[in-house]
Each structure stands twice: as C-alpha cells, then as structure tokens.
Chain A
Amino acid sequence: MLRFALTRILMALPTLLIVAVSVFVLIRLIPGDPAQLMLGDLADPASLADLRARLGLDKSLPVQFGIWFGNLLQGDLGQSISSQQAVLPLILQRFWISAQIVLVAVFLACLVAVPAGVIAAWRQNSTLDLGLVGLATLLLSIPTFWLGLLLLLFFGLKLEWLPVVGYVSISEDATRGILYLVMPIMTLFLHEIGVLLRMARASTLEVLRLDYITHARAKGLSEGAVLWRHAFKNAFGPTWTLIGLVLGNLLGGIAVVETVFTIPGLGRLLVDSIFARDYPVIQGCLLFVAFTYVIVNLVIDLCYPIFDPRVTAQ
C-alpha cells in the first residue's frame, strides 16, 4: 500500500508541474499587475516603473518563473505582495479555517445523505422517495450564497441565535468559535446533502436491479441484510468517489460561503489575491489546491478496499 501511495504521489508530480507553469503563465496573461493596483489612478510612469522593479516584475517571465520555481523546490512559496507575509504559512493558516468547515459539513452530509439515498432507492417511486429526491433537487438548486443569506436572515437577524458577522478561532474561544461556524457549516451541509443523496440513490438503484440482489432475497434474507450486506457495500463505491471529489473541490475554496459569513478561509484568500494580482499568493494557493486534490483522491482510493474487497491497492 505504501508503494502504491508513493507511486501515486510521484505520478502527481507532472500534474503539479503543469499546474505550476499554467498558473504562472495564465495569471500574467490577464491585463493589470499588482504595481498598477497598488498605485491606482495615481500611477505616474516613473513610480510605476520603480514599484515594478522593487516587486521584480520588470524581469522577463522566464527569469521570474526560474526564481519562483527555484524557491518552490526549496519549499518556499514566496512572499505576498499585498500583505508581505510568507505565502506558505498564510495558506496553511487559511486552509485550516476552511478545512474545519468543509470536513464537518461533508461528514454531516454523508451521515444524512447516504442512508437517505439508500432508503429512497429501496422505496423507489414511493412518496418517501419522491419527497427525498424533491428535497435533494431543491437543496442542489439553491445557490450557496443565497442559502447562506437566508440562514443569516433567519438565525442571525430574526431569531438572533447566531452571530451574523465575524470569526473567532476555536483555539481562542471554543464556544464562540463554534457559534461562528454553525451557519457556514449548515450552508455547505444542506447543499452537499443534495449532491450526495442523489448519487447514493442512483448507485443503490443500479445495484438493487442486479441478479445477486434477487438471489439474496430469494434466499430469504431480510431486507435489512439485503440492503446493508449486499446492496450498500457495492453501491457505496461511486458515492465514495463523489465524496472525494466534493472534498477536494470544497477544500480548494468555498469563497462564496466564506465571503457571506466573513470567514477568512483559503477561498477568500484566493479571490482577494486574484483581484489584487498578488501573484505569489495566487500561485501558492492554486498549487496547494491541486496538491490537496491529489492527496484527497489518493486517500479515497486507498480506502476503497475497506468497502469493496475486490478492489486492492495493487
């Protein structure tokens, strides 16, 4: 298994290299640069040239890339142009904030959506099935920013149960920290329920139509045993893959949710950096997101044998 994991990580290196080069080039193809944004409408050519020189933007692209890539190989993602903080600690600090929300929301969504999907498939075309599918479609259709605003309006403004703006780290004050995270987690949780429930239902339905399920029933097994022992374990694979994709996607940035709830997470850092043309942070964030995707999917792959012994790490 260790060999498999190492192979996968090595296989990911070309992907990460392509991401690094693409991000570096693409972000510089967009008009505008950090020096212009820092000086705004007051940018006389001399000041602009001075600032570009100080930021190293006057060097040719290959030279800039060489410097950045050389530092990257030494584990140094550079320094933010806007805040002048080291990029890697900045990303890790913001990532931890996003990860708390994403991991809890996806975990809770799995707890609810997967059993609900299996039950909906088991009772296909019943009122329960139609209700669950309808609910999933509704939750999937509501944009997260709107859902977030609705929650703010209801729990923050009408009921005044939860704080509307701000963020307190859990390590700083656990109770307040949790209160600030409730609504962002709830927003993602509700949205992901829709995604996961539909997948769990669809994959269970496919399995329930197979001959061995009929055979299991013919043997006289209880419906519970059929569902859990024979249907669920075989049907969970696609849902598990989807969970990996969802996690990778969300860990890479929940900028909209973070913006609505003023959470200083990785997504907001990335969006702010793009608007500020903060090249080192953009490059660092996107590379980190790609790396996270690779790792999450590796973990997902390594977990397959737990659910389906036919799949091996080989």
Chain B
Amino acid sequence: MNRILASAFALALSAGAVQAQTLTAVLNADMRSSNPGVNRDDNTDMIVLHVVEGLVGYDEGGAVGPLLAEKVDISQDGKTYTFTLRKGVKFHNGAELTSADALWSWNRYMDPKTDWRCLGDLDGRNGLKVVSATAPDANTFVMELNAPNALFLDTLARTDCGGTAIIHKDSVKADGSWDKPIGTGPFTFGEWKRGQSVQLLAYSGYASPKGDKPDGMLGSKRPLVKEVRFMVIPDAATVKAGLMSGSLDIASVPASDAVELKAHPRLNVITVTNPVRHGLIMQTRDPVLKNVKLRQAIAASIDFPELVANVTDNLTKPNNSPIYTTSKYFGEVEKQGFKYDPARAKKLLQEAGYKGEKIVILANKRSTVPSFNTAVIAQQMMQAVGINAEIEVLEWATQLDRYNKGNFQMESFSYSARIDPALGFEQISGPKDKQPRKVWEDPEALALIDKSMVVSDPAERQKIFDELHKRFIEQVPSIFTHNDIDIVAHSKRASGVKPWMSKLLLWEVSVAN
C-alpha cells in the first residue's frame, strides 16, 4: 500500500512540474464545434476566439476597434468600409495574412452551406446587406453595404458570429467540409477529446495588436503559457473540489461558492459585471398581464436590492434597465429603475381591477442562472401585496420552447449578452404576431430601436436609449432585476486573469512555477 501511495505521490509531483507550463480551465459543457460562428454556443465562442481573429473586435467597454485591420475607413455616405490589414500577421501554418484570405473567408461565410450563424444579419434578410466584398490589393479589403448602418462593425465583431474570423483555406478539407481552425490568434487549436477536454497551444509566431495591456478582444494578447487545457466538468461541486485541490487553475463558479473559495489560501476570486440580463419577462398579451397597471404593481411589489442581494450573495446591485451597467450608454437616466413600494403596488392592483387571478412564473434550475431563486423570492414579494403568484419549474429546453412560442405569463429568464444597446433592445422587442418570443411591441419604441441602428453619433444614440429606457420602465413589458456577474475563481499561481463578457480570456495570463 505504501508503495502505491508513494508512486501516486511521485506521479503527482511529476505532473506538477509539467503543469507549470499548463493552465487548466473549466468548461461546464463541451464545445460544439471548432468552426467559428457555426454550430456554436458560448463555450464554443470562447475557445474559438483564442484561435481565430476577425477584422474588428470589441474592446473591454464594448466599443468596436480594429483587430486584424490596422484601420477602418468609412466613406462619406456610410456605405463603404475599407479595411487596411495589419502587416506581419501570420496564420498558424506560417502563411501570411492577405486580403485574399479575408475575401475567401467572407465568401465562405456568405455561402448558405457553411451554416454561418450571422448570415441572416448580413444578407439583407434583416435589412443590412453587404452588396459587395473585394480585395483590390493584398493589404486592402473593401465591403459595401446597401445602406448606412451603425451596427455593421458590431455585427462583424460579435462573438456569436465567431468575430467573422479570417481563417486560412486549409481550415477546410478538399471536399469543403470543416477540418480545424487555422487562424491568426494567440493559440493554435490542439487536441480536442470530445466530452473531456480541449487543448490550445501557444502560437510562437503570434503578432499581437497594439497595446500594453489586454483590452477585451483587442490590446495585448500574448500567449504567456505553453498550453491551455479546458476541461469539461459540468458539476459545480467537482469544480470546487478541483480548484481547492489545485487540479484546476481557473473556473467560473456559482455565487454561492464565491465566499468559501475566496477564503481558501490557494485561490483568488474575481467578480466582473457582464451584459447578460436576468429578470422576469411578461406576456403583455396575456388576459391578466395585458393590464399595464397590474404589471406596474408587480414591479412595485419587488424589493430589488433585497432580491438581488439574495440571489447573488451580495455580489452585485440591481439594474432595471435593458442597458447593462458597464455600457458606455448606462447613464443617470438608466439608473432610474423601478421603486419598491408595497402600498403603491396594492393601490395599482385595485386600479387594475385585479381579483386574485393566478399568475404563473416559469423557472428552471440550471446552475448557471438565478432563474429559480429569483422566481421564489419574487413570488414571495408578489404574494405579500396580494398577487396570486405560482411557480412552475421546467427543464430548460421546455422553458425555451414556451418562450419561443410566447406561451407563458411570466418567466424568470436570462437574456444572452448583447454588447450594443440597440441589439439589447432589439433582442426583447418586435411584433409578437411575427415573433411570439418578443416581449415589447410598442410601435414607437420599435421605431426608436430602428433609428438607433442607423444613427452612429454617440450623443444622438444616448438620447434614443434614454427615451427607450423611460418607456420601458413606464410600460413594464418585462422586469430586469440585475446584470450577470462573472465570478471567476483562480489559483494564486495564475496572474493576469480578467474575465470579459462571460468569457475566460487566457491570453496575457501567466502561471508561476
């Protein structure tokens, strides 16, 4: 027995020496594919964006800047975008980046056979259309739009679009099927053991964008470890044990574990707000909830500081605005949210003619969102003013199906990150006849949202977003409670860890021996 233990101990020590060059991070579920913007989810985007890069990317605050482009020139009429490529950028196979690669990648994305997630946002189906893409010389790539659009560069930078990455032709096989990403990012794509782990290897020939520090998808992006290994671990308790034992270096953890992990001598915990919005969405066509006074009563019945403190273990503050707190458009107007006032809630219920009709809140128990806890606390607060609220717990796919069909009264729901506020508003708004999942269909609000997608002047856009926020708070088509927080626990031997928009970005992260 002693010999076995001694062997195991020696093995652990030798593994430790190897690990000094390796950063072990956690995925709560395996990535779906390695194809940028195709068959994707958030985990897929996070890993793929370590390997590939697009012409533009988001900075830390959500503004778009050049990434593989040195600069972007926009014509006077706002329809022609000229991208000058950075020089000296090489793909992982050693080939130099040219505009021919940008054009090849673009044509591939626009081919319906590719199944690119963002095709519909750029082929005219949703208004915006790229009418031509050309490569006049090796260093210049030009795209022409059907009409000026303030969100064109945002769309190219979107993480769910895979950053509209420029990849090398050898990423696909001779028959056109996907092989693996050969990009220009700080890491090359290593071994993918499905259901177990994904390995990324430092790219020694990486040409980082300008900057002396990381800045979202921009800034300094040097790979500082030889290997990053993302391990697929769905169980939060196992992740916690792995972090505490030192087997894992970095992981997103639930709020309930943050305090304990923070106190652990081996670990640090970082919390950063991201654009994901949690809240209680409402069906404004429901016979009961179509009454705006009743919706206002629900909003007035909820003590948001109390609710948010409980569901996040005091890690963040409420935000009732559809605009997330770290957005540059989150100003004084957006800080004015719903007011907790039980007496007013009771009065509004009377004015609404509410007679105790049942209101069902749908919720799920996924560990990554506060759906159930939010529903439970909101239910108690609503009941306290006399609202007959009930909770129905569903499995996520079922809840999503009900959401897409508009088949709900209330749902404790989380909206995925939309970095530009115009897209954030668009995500929740639209005609329900065409898209039953939309929660807000005020025609004037829809017109304002359309306008915000065309106007590019920040001051003008701020006015539009302020107006939209006020209308949202007044009409209560839904109730946002707070923005999500990235809670990342990491080993003290790892430095430079800085989560961004729900993603672990592992460039500029180093590991002490």
Contacts and interface: CB of A to CB of B under 8 A. Distances in A.
Nearest to A47: B120
Interface string A257-287: 0011110100011001001010000000000
A115 to B, nearest CB: 22
B247 A163 contact: yes
B231 interface: yes
Interface string A160-171: 111111110000
A164 B194 contact: no
B340 interface: no
A264 B402 CA distance: 31
B400 A94 contact: no
B415 A41 contact: yes
Contacts of B404: 36, 43, 48
Interface in B1-36: 5, 7-9, 11-12, 29-30, 32-33
Contacts of A40: 41, 400, 416
Interface residues of B, number: 52
Centre residue among B120, B126, B231, B397 by max chain A CB count within 10 A:
B397
Interface string A135-174: 0000000000000010011001100111111110000000
A138 to B, nearest CB: 22
B384 interface: no
A176 B7 CA distance: 10
A185 to B, nearest CB: 15
Contact of B398 (A31, A38, A51): A31
Contact of B245 (A54, A85, A164): A164
B160 interface: yes
A82 B400 CA distance: 17
Given A38-B39, A40-B416, A167 B196 contact: yes
B448 to A, nearest CB: 20
Contacts of A272: 29-30, 195, 234
A268 B196 CA distance: 11
Contact of A41 (B12, B237, B416): B416
B252 to A, nearest CB: 15
Contacts, number: 133
B427 A42 contact: yes
B241 A153 contact: yes
A103 B126 CA distance: 56
Contacts of A153: 241
Contact of B39 (A32, A84, A165, A261): A84
Contacts of B12: 160, 163
A296 B396 CA distance: 35
A109 B234 CA distance: 28
A165 B233 contact: yes
A156 B400 contact: no
B242 interface: yes
B50 interface: no
Nearest to B194: A83
A46 B435 CA distance: 10
Contact of A261 (B196, B238, B245): B238
Contacts of B248: 165
A202 interface: no
B237 A260 contact: yes
Contacts of B30: 83, 272
Given A36-B400, A149-B237, A272-B29, A42 B41 contact: no
3 residue pairs, one from A and one from B, having the closest CB atoms: A32-B397, A264-B195, A31-B401
Interface of A: 30-33, 36-38, 40-48, 50-51, 54, 82-85, 90, 94, 149, 152-153, 156-157, 160-167, 175-176, 179, 259-262, 264, 268-269, 272, 275, 277
26 contacts: A30-B397, A30-B398, A31-B397, A31-B401, A31-B402, A33-B401, A36-B400, A41-B416, A43-B404, A46-B125, A48-B404, A149-B237, A156-B245, A161-B8, A165-B239, A165-B241, A166-B197, A167-B196, A175-B11, A179-B11, A259-B234, A261-B238, A262-B232, A264-B196, A272-B195, A272-B234
